[in-house]
Amino acid sequence: MFIPFLYALRDRGVPVGATEAVALAQALKAGLHESSLDGFYHVARALLVHREGHLDDFDQAFLKVFKGIEVESKKLKDELLDWLREAAEREGELTEEERALLEHLDPDELEELFQQRLRDQKERHDGGNKWIGTAGTSPFGHSGKAARQGIRVGGKGGGRSAIKTADARLYKGYRQDLTLDVRQMQLALRKLRSFARVGGEEELDLEETIAETARNAGELEVVTRPPRRPNTRIILMMDVGGSMDPFAHLCSRLFSATKKSSHFKELRTYYFHNCVYGRVYETERFTDPIRVDDLLHECGPHYKLIVVGDALMAPYELLSPGGSITYSGEERAEGIVWLMRLQKHFRRSVWLNPEPQRYWYGNTIEHIRGVFDMFPLTLEGLGEATTHLMKSR
Amino acid sequence: MSDFRRFRGTDTYLTSESLEAAVNCALVLERPLLVRGEPGTGKTLLAEAVSEALGRELIRWNVKSTTRAQDGLYVYDTVQRLYDSRFQDKDVSDIRHYIKLGPVGKAFAADERVVLLIDEIDKADVEFPNDLLNELDRMRFWIDELQEEVSAKHRPIVIITSNAEKELPDAFLRRCVFHFIDFPTPELMDRIVRVHHPDLEERLAEQAIQTFYELRSMKRLRKRPSTSELVDWIAVLQKAGVGDVRLDKNLPFLGALLKKEQDLVAFADQLAGGRRWRS
């Protein structure tokens, strides 16, 4: 039961390993679950799950394994003991720390405790709630101490039972089956940092202080300097709607990763549809337009431009004047012309494309690659793109 | 190992079974407890409650965006020492006077087991938790200037709170006992409210809680009000002598519940357009 449960968790993508299993065994040994399945549910959840996104997976795995099942005592005991022995033998797989924990739990001692616990249980077993029976003979019964000390066996009255709690699946809303997560992206974006000393003089400049003090014939002369502050300015332009819809999640993750990164001096985000023409927008709903000319006026070439888009559109949308239906006059220039203007203006720019690279030929992507340096929107691509952005020209 | 004091909440801090289980796991396994949940669900209060229930001193470390892991261990105040060296009134030859322990350092150096609260760890730089990993794991660190090691006499009970999701590195998460504070059910909320306002009238309590949950279920709210806002709101209602509340556009002291301009607009909009609740 114990092992299938761990595997059921792993099947659902909850990363449990020896560290977690050993921690759980320790907690049970200390009698934290109070010899009840409910207690076990809460203790196991605290130790096996590390983020709320996995709570729902935990509930499902728990249900699958424990719902409506009478646990066979001997089989379970053997399972846990075997597992612990095996784990001790698999040397390479365990870290020092885990090994130390395991040694703490001597299998023989465990077995003895368990047998004792089992005897206690038989004497006391008076039918009653099936979970009392289960708890008593569960593999976690090796924590027999708790029972002998007279702590209540079975669930607490009035409380929600573990199966009921798990069944309610309260944590469905917190699921997140993410491939590329925000943190990974943030780490990739970290490379975009650069620092400059600006602002109030709050930091001691040791070298200068020594030099000045020496120049001052030994009379102390303290020199301070401004602390290092982030000095990167970023413009993020994202294609939204239409063919970009399948990538909306990926893009929103990139968006929140950039937003949350505190190491940029300035971050501007704009949206466009299909291709940049005369204007970009401050919101996803294409309100608050800003003219690209004005934008280029405001932001010097030292800003770093990141464009995110699939670069897929009908050829005329990119290549013929007035490709965008919405504009007139000067803004009727070809989409590709606008892209070239952007690319020329900024010293460093990249285009991140969520389309798989095998589709990058024989369509408008090829044209746009002629203008922008294009990278796939994967973790690797993001890493390459940030390196590219930091190269000085 | 079984002779530890179990945490069961306090008179003013109500817990759930799973929260108690998590705290007790952290106590027994001597691992940091990571608490997450919506703002205002009492993450920080938990540390106070644990400190009160176990009779241990609480050492707080409020993390800010500029906080570095080093600040928590110790700071060497060079400038002070240099200034002092100009006047002869202090003993500058002993560097010890200028090494100041941070919250983590103090918790390690304490003569008895203390509760160390690392509040809002997600506010700091992404690398911050990694920088602390080793120190929290081994419960010791090295002071370079003194060539001395500070090692915990008693492993402190470490409670870490975080608002943001998916921000903490896996290696860090694996070393923590994790608990996600659920939003309280109306029944638990009723008990919580009564702990804070023992003399609250039955009818007002019922109405306020009902209104509160209705408000929370409204669509399009950016920041849904949480427990602490409800407690404050009821305090204001009581002070002002309001006897009846129900959800309409004249809801008294709405500002105590909704703090964002857009939310107030959304609130007015939805009431004007009839009741459209989140299902």
Reported as a single tens digit per residue, the pLDDT across B242-275 is 877 777 777 888 888 888 887 888 888 777 765 5
Residues B170, B196, single domain; the answer is no
Q: Identify the pLDDT of residue B61.
A: 95
Residues B143, B118, single domain; the answer is yes
Per-residue pLDDT tens digits for B50-81? 999 999 999 999 998 778 888 899 988 887 88
**Looking at residue B154, which CATH number applies to its domain?**
3.40.50.300
SS (H, E, C) chain B: CCCCCCCCCCCCCCCCHHHHHHHHHHHHHCCCEEEEECCCCCHHHHHHHHHHHHCCCEEEEECCCCCCHHHHHEEECHHHHHHHCCCCCCCCCCHHHHEEECHHHHHHHCCCCCEEEEECHHHCCCCHHHHHHHHHHHCEEEECCCCEEEECCCCCEEEEEECCCCCCCHHHHHCCEEEEECCCCHHHHHHHHHHHCCCCCHHHHHHHHHHHHHHHCECCCCCCCCHHHHHHHHHHHHHHCCCCCCCCCCCCCHHHCCCCHHHHHHHHHHHHCCCCECC
Per-residue pLDDT tens digits for A22-62? 888 888 777 777 767 778 888 888 888 888 878 888 888 88
Nearest-angstrom CA–CA distance, A52 and B38: 11
Least confident range of A157-166, A226-235, A270-279, B130-139: A157-166
Residues B214, B166, single domain; the answer is no
Residues B134, B190, single domain; the answer is no
Q: Identify the pLDDT of residue A196.
A: 66
Q: Which of A128, A158, A174 is the last residue of a domain?
A: A174
Determine, yes or no, domain membership for B12.
Answer: no
Q: Identify the pLDDT of residue A133.
A: 35
Task: Using DSSP, state whether A104 is helix, strand or coil.
Answer: helix
Q: Please state, rounded to an integer, the average pLDDT across all residues of chain B.
A: 84
Whether B166 has a pLDDT exceeding 60, the answer reads no
Q: Is A156 on the interface with B (CB under 8 A)?
A: yes
Determine, yes or no, domain membership for A186.
Answer: no
Whether B140 has a pLDDT exceeding 80, the answer reads yes
Task: Using DSSP, state whether A317 is helix, strand or coil.
Answer: helix
- The total domain count for chain B is 2
Point out the residue among B1, B125, B178 whose CB comes nearest to the CB of A51: B178
Determine, yes or no, domain membership for B201.
Answer: yes
Residues B38, B158, single domain; the answer is yes
Residue of A nearest to B84 (CA): A220
Residues A56, A135, single domain; the answer is yes
Whether B105 has a pLDDT exceeding 90, the answer reads yes
Nearest-angstrom CA–CA distance, A217 and B34: 54
Residue of B nearest to A178 (CA): B166
**Domain of residue A338, residue span:** 231-390
Place of tokens 């003991």: A81
Q: Look at chain A and count its residues.
A: 393
Count of pairs with CB atoms under 8 A, one residue in A, one in B:
110
Point out the residue among A160, A174, A220 whose CB comes nearest to the CB of B82: A220
Facing residues of B157 across strands?
Answer: B115
CB-count exposure of residue A336 (10 Å: 0-12, 13-18, 19+): buried
Residue from B66, B138, B180, B262 to probe the interface with A (highest A Cβ count within 10 Å):
B180
Q: Identify the pLDDT of residue A166.
A: 63
**Looking at residue A301, which CATH number applies to its domain?**
3.40.50
Residues A83, A166, single domain; the answer is yes
Task: Using DSSP, state whether A36 is helix, strand or coil.
Answer: coil
Q: Which of B165, B181, B197 is the last residue of a domain?
A: B181
Point out the residue among B18, B36, B83 whose CB comes nearest to the CB of A42: B18
Residues B176, B260, single domain; the answer is no
Determine, yes or no, domain membership for A188.
Answer: no
Nearest-angstrom CA–CA distance, A201 and B246: 55
Residues A239, A380, single domain; the answer is yes
Residues B164, B215, single domain; the answer is no
Nearest-angstrom CA–CA distance, A346 and A334: 19
Residues A247, A124, single domain; the answer is no
CB contact under 8 A, A183 and B169: yes
Q: Which chain A residues have a beta carbon less than 8 Å from that of B17?
A: 38-39, 42, 156, 159-160
Average pLDDT over residues A250-270: 78
Whether B103 has a pLDDT exceeding 90, the answer reads yes
- Packing angle, helices A182-189 and A248-260, rounded to 10: 50
Nearest-angstrom CA–CA distance, A152 and B255: 47
β-bridge pairing B33-37 and B177-181: parallel
Confidence of residue B102 (pLDDT cuts 50, 70, 90): very high
Determine, yes or no, domain membership for B229.
Answer: yes
Residues A131, A257, single domain; the answer is no
Residues B36, B56, single domain; the answer is yes
CB contact under 8 A, A32 and B21: yes
Residue among A125, A349, A154, A101 at smallest CA distance from B30: A101
CB contact under 8 A, A220 and B83: yes
Q: Identify the pLDDT of residue A121.
A: 46
Residue among A140, A132, A163 at smallest CA distance from A24: A140
Determine, yes or no, domain membership for B3.
Answer: no
Average pLDDT over residues A172-176: 51
Q: How far does Cα A33 stand from its chain's mean position?
A: 30
CB contact under 8 A, A47 and B78: no
Six-digit token pair at A190?
């970290």
User: Of A189-203, A219-233, B221-235, which one has max mean pLDDT?
Assistant: B221-235
Q: Identify the pLDDT of residue B156.
A: 92
Least confident range of A55-69, A117-131, A288-302: A117-131
Residues B209, B246, single domain; the answer is yes
Nearest-angstrom CA–CA distance, A343 and A386: 16
Facing residues of A233 across strands?
Answer: A266
Q: Is A181 on the interface with B (CB under 8 A)?
A: yes
Q: Identify the pLDDT of residue A358.
A: 82
Per-residue pLDDT tens digits for B202-245? 888 888 898 888 888 887 777 788 888 898 999 898 888 887 77
CB contact under 8 A, A183 and B126: yes
Nearest-angstrom CA–CA distance, A353 and A376: 5
- Rounded to the nearest angstrom, the minimum Cα separation between B3 and chain A is 9
Residues A224, A237, single domain; the answer is no
Q: Which chain A residues have a beta carbon less than 8 Å from that of B34?
A: 50
Residues A219, A287, single domain; the answer is no
Residues B224, B168, single domain; the answer is no
Residues B128, B256, single domain; the answer is no
Residues A248, A326, single domain; the answer is yes
Point out the residue among A46, A50, A149 whose CB comes nearest to the CB of B174: A50
Q: Identify the pLDDT of residue A143.
A: 34
Cβ count near B229 (within 10 Å)? 20
CB contact under 8 A, A146 and B170: no
Cα–Cα distances in angstroms (integers) from residue B147 to residues A249, B14, B94, B95, B150, in the given order = 51, 45, 13, 11, 10
Residues A348, A317, single domain; the answer is yes
Which runs of consecutive H residues, i.e. helices, occur in chain A? Answer: 2-11, 18-29, 37-48, 55-66, 73-89, 96-104, 107-124, 130-137, 144-148, 162-168, 182-189, 206-215, 248-260, 292-298, 315-319, 335-345, 364-369, 379-390
Residues B32, B169, single domain; the answer is yes
Residues A9, A108, single domain; the answer is yes
Determine, yes or no, domain membership for B94.
Answer: no
Residues A204, A105, single domain; the answer is no
Q: Which of B151, B181, B211 is the last residue of a domain?
A: B181
Whether B48 has a pLDDT exceeding 80, the answer reads yes
**Domain of residue B133, residue span:** 17-72+101-181
Residues in contact with B183: Cβ distance below 8 Å, sequence separation at least 6, in sequence order: B37, B38, B41, B226, B227
Q: Identify the pLDDT of residue A173.
A: 52
- The total domain count for chain A is 3
Residues A208, A258, single domain; the answer is no
